[in-house]
Amino acid sequence: MSTDTLLLHVYRIYIRPYTDPNRLEKTLPAILLISLLALAPGLQAMPSMEHPAVTCPATPVSLPKGLEGWARKQPVRAGDTARTATTLPLGSGVTATLLPASQIAYAVRPQKSGGSTSSGGMFIFSVPDTGRYRVALGSAAWIDVLHGTTPMTSVAHAHGPDCTGLRKMVDFDLTPGHYMLQVAGNSSATLPMMVVRMP
């Protein structure tokens, strides 16, 4: 039976007698059914939320203000515990060599660990002044920023500018102090990353 035939069948049996109060209880489910059938094609036609693929130019793309340090990355190795966490310089990009998830003792269990085959690590950075700080990543890895063992709440999330290698950017409003950056669920053993104070 086609959708049109089904709708006509439902209408004749349930909807047309709608004026009869005694059949109201039987009619309402049919109204809901018709609504769902009408919505189905539209739901299937909704556009994908994935970031669209783009063709990048041969020349390097300019980085946004405040993120210029992304273009100059230094190699570092991730720590496996809070005590051995690697210090990250503010405003300078790094290419971090990560560790297998099974070798990391996180200070706080990541919400999305990525499983035993993923990579991650422990880092630390210092905040000299109150302000908004951005963690920029070259992948969609999961991050936690901790003050002690207290997770900080992010205030903004964004995809990095196309053709820059910036995949994910997460902003936090922080006060002076030392902060732990936990990386989890990365699909490869290396990760370009940077922590920077925003203008």
Whether residue 53 is contained in a domain is answered as: no
Whether residue 61 is contained in a domain is answered as: no
Range of the domain at 182: 68-197
What's the pLDDT score for residue 15?
A: 54
Are 70 and 164 in contact, with CB atoms under 8 Å apart?
Answer: yes
Are 104 and 189 in contact, with CB atoms under 8 Å apart?
Answer: no
What's the pLDDT score for residue 174?
A: 98
pLDDT < 50 positions in the chain: 3, 6-7, 10, 24, 27-49
pTM for the model: 0.71
Count of structural domains within the chain: 2
Q: Are residues 26 and 102 in the same domain?
A: no
What's the pLDDT score for residue 169?
A: 96
